[in-house]
């Protein structure tokens, strides 16, 4: 049974998030940062760390939920090429704002995670790719990295060990697609962020053709706790196959929007009512987008769903990045869908025709429908174009763009009908 | 014959760029950070500035153009001294972002994407800023302002006009 008392719950990444001046090395160290690092450098090796992370059950916190230890085990060793570790701090999925808090409030947690992960993978050069808008967070991270270098936590022979690693911040410049790992790699190579075909996967052929691991901020920030407390400790939090804690970024029609880290398996209702102060209007949400704007919508019937990768999949959606956008009975779903579609049309990188043309077309159709000028034919086009876009492109942006539209049409056809040019006529024919 | 002086990075910048380039496996990775430096030094990325960046990093002008035109934060046009970027994506929209944007455009007498005649303010509508708990979010020269009301914005504009640094 998971406690519903926010003060009692286990936290991992946010364990010290409220501590004042936690971004300084002195305060971070006083709260245990880097305390276990010497043990890792001395007593652990690649196999031991990968095994620990595998047994811990840690899954990628950026959106895909892929088992982290397994991802690491795909990296070929002894190819003669350098291995790179890239941290994905591009955080651009609408509704997501969790990595920002880790970076601005507890940057040393991320740095320690990078050192331990880099050590596991034999990495000499690691980079954190942060979205360009996060200038404050970039500056906080750069300051923390500088302090870490001065304390021999980064650079040559870390804490007197044989292990040396460089860590550098790299700013994106306003392109959502760079959160896709191969687009991120392209961008870090100084190019436009256009996703690559997979395979080859980055683990084999990534940054400048070398084996590369790309992990989300929250994923990397979880590694120190796993190594210090042990895989079994982590695996005991949450439920099997969905272990550990997860930060949920909750926004929209709730009274206390914010980031809340809770054990996996906490229900949506507990999160919204006990943590977020409940809905602004009504007792059951009209729509909940559970994992960022690209994930299919849940309706009120799923209010008690446990927040896990598996349960959300069973409910027809995804845990994604844990970005929960809540809409109560006052929400204008057609207007919101139009806005999200405009986002995807703007952010499509343009290399795949179905996505480039489809997102723009859908935006124009939704603009018409939202303005009260749409017809039944427009509804057919919305359904047809979104269905045919998904699965026909290099990356998942097109699926993400289709998700809100298909959800709107499936669950709330009456909201669409009400905005069409001649609602009475439309009602008669349906 | 041109009388316009070509833009040049300062010596200090060139030293900084040289050191930066060495921190990547290939110099090309330094393109985005160097474009940020150029934008800071020259205000925006004119064709001349882009050519200078290309020359500095031994890249073809097309390699630079491709990156400048792909990313929204690289600007090819000058903008106001204060760039006001209003997020209007879902969570901000649900929390009054469009009313705020309308208020700003009305009080400054410009549309989103335009700059005031005195060169002080540019308003831009932007995509999710990644701070949705503070919706609506406005970035003022890249610093985040959260839960912004029309009154907050009026106060901010008054301060800026009075010469206070934000």
Q: Which residues contact A342 (CB under 8 A, 6 or more apart)?
A: A363, A366, A367
* Polymer length of chain A: 430
For residues A323 and A103, give the distance between their C-alpha atoms in angstroms, rounded to a whole number. Answer: 17
Interface contact A97-B131, CB threshold 8 A: yes
Range with the poorest average pLDDT among A226-235, A302-311, A378-387, A417-426: A417-426
CB of A287 within 8 A of CB of A253? Answer: no
For residue range A65-100, what is the model confidence (pLDDT) as tens digits? 999 999 999 999 989 999 999 999 999 999 999 999
pLDDT band at A261 (very low <50, low <70, confident <90, very high): very high
For residue range B68-126, what is the model confidence (pLDDT) as tens digits? 999 999 999 999 999 999 999 999 999 999 999 999 999 999 999 999 999 999 999 99
Give the pLDDT of residue B120.
Answer: 93
For residues A48 and A207, give the distance between their C-alpha atoms in angstroms, rounded to a whole number. Answer: 25
pTM, rounded to two decimals: 0.95
Residue in B39, B45, B133 to test binding to A, most A beta-carbons within 10 Å: B133
CA distance B52 to chain A (A): 16
For residues A218 and A86, give the distance between their C-alpha atoms in angstroms, rounded to a whole number. Answer: 13
Give the pLDDT of residue B101.
Answer: 98
Which residues of chain B does A188 touch, with a Cβ-Cβ cutoff of 8 Å? Answer: 29
For residue range A163-217, what is the model confidence (pLDDT) as tens digits? 999 999 999 999 999 999 999 999 999 999 999 999 999 999 999 999 999 999 9
For residue range A268-279, what is the model confidence (pLDDT) as tens digits? 999 999 999 999
For residue range A416-426, what is the model confidence (pLDDT) as tens digits? 999 998 755 55
A254 beta partners: A279
In this complex, the residue of B23, B89, B139 whose CB is nearest that of residue A133 is B139
Q: Of A343, A391, A405, A362, nearest to A96 (Cα)? A: A343
Interface residues of B toward A, Cβ cutoff 8 Å, are: 23, 25-26, 28-33, 35-36, 59, 63, 66-67, 70-74, 88-91, 93-94, 126-133, 135, 139, 142-144
The residue of chain A with its CA nearest to that of B92 is: A252
* Polymer length of chain B: 166
Could you tell me what percent of chain A has a pLDDT over 90? Answer: 94
CA distance A350 to chain B (A): 10
Residue ranges of A 263-282 with Cβ closer than 8 A to chain B = none
Which residues of chain A does B135 touch, with a Cβ-Cβ cutoff of 8 Å? Answer: 251, 257
Considering only the C-alpha atoms of chain A, give the largest distance between any 2 of them, rounded to a whole number of Å: 79
Q: Is A303 helix (H, G, I), strand (E, B) or coil?
A: coil
A242 beta partners: A239
Give the pLDDT of residue A7.
Answer: 54
């Amino acid at each position: 049974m998971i406690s519903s008392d926010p003060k009692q719950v286990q936290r991992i990444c946010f364990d010290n998030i409220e501590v004042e001046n936690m971004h300084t090395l002195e305060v971070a160290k006083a709260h245990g940062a880097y305390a276990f690092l010497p043990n890792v450098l001395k007593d652990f090796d690649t196999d031991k760390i990968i095994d620990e992370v595998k047994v811990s059950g840690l899954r990628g916190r950026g959106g895909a939920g892929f088992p982290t230890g397994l991802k690491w085990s795909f990296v070929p060793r002894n190819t003669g090429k350098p291995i790179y570790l890239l941290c994905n701090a591009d955080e651009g999925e609408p509704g997501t704002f969790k990595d920002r808090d880790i970076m601005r409030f507890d940057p040393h947690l991320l740095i320690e995670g990078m050192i331990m992960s880099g050590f596991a993978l034999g990495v000499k050069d690691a980079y954190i790719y942060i979205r360009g808008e996060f200038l404050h967070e970039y500056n906080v991270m750069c300051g923390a990295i500088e302090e870490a270098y001065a304390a021999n936590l980064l650079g040559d022979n870390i804490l007197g060990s044989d292990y040396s690693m460089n860590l550098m911040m790299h700013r994106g410049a306003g392109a959502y697609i760079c959160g896709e790992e191969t687009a991120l790699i392209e961008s870090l190579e100084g190019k436009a962020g256009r996703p690559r075909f997979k395979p080859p996967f980055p683990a084999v052929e990534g940054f400048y053709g070398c084996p590369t691991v790309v992990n989300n901020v929250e994923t990397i920030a979880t590694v120190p706790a796993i190594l210090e407390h042990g895989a079994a400790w982590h695996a005991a939090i949450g439920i099997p196959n969905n272990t550990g804690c997860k930060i949920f970024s909750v926004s929209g029609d709730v009274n206390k929007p914010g980031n809340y880290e809770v054990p996996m398996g906490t229900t949506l209702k507990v999160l919204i009512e006990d943590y977020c102060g409940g809905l602004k209007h009504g007792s059951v949400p009209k729509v909940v987008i559970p994992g960022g704007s690209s994930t299919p919508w849940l309706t009120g019937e799923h209010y008690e769903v446990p927040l896990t990768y598996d349960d959300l999949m069973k409910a027809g959606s995804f845990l994604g990045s844990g970005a929960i956008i809540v809409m109560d009975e006052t929400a204008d779903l057609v207007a919101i869908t139009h806005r999200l579609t405009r986002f995807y049309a703007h952010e499509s990188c343009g290399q795949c025709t179905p996505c480039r043309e489809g997102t723009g077309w859908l935006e124009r159709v939704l603009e018409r429908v939202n303005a009260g000028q749409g017809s039944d034919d427009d509804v057919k086009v919305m359904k047809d174009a979104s269905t045919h876009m998904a699965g026909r492109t290099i990356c998942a942006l097109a699926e993400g763009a289709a998700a809100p539209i298909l959800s709107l049409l499936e669950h709330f056809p009456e909201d669409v009908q009400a905005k069409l040019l001649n609602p009475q006529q439309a009602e008669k024919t349906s | 014959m041109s009388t316009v002086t070509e833009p040049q990075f300062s010596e200090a910048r060139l030293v900084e760029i040289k050191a930066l380039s060495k921190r990547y496996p290939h110099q090309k990775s330094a393109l985005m950070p160097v474009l940020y430096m150029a934008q800071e030094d020259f205000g925006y990325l004119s064709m001349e500035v882009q050519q200078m960046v290309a020359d500095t990093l031994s890249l073809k002008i097309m390699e630079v153009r491709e990156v400048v035109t792909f990313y929204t934060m690289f600007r090819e046009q000058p903008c106001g001294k204060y760039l006001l970027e209003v997020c209007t994506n879902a969570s901000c929209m649900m929390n009054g972002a469009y009313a705020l944007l309308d208020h700003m455009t009305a009080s400054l007498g410009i549309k989103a994407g335009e700059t005031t005649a005195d060169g002080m303010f540019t308003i831009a509508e932007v995509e999710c800023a990644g701070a949705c708990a503070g919706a609506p979010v406005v970035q003022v020269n890249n610093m985040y302002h959260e839960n912004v009301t029309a009154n907050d914005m009026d106060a901010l504009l008054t301060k800026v006009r009075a010469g206070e640094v934000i």
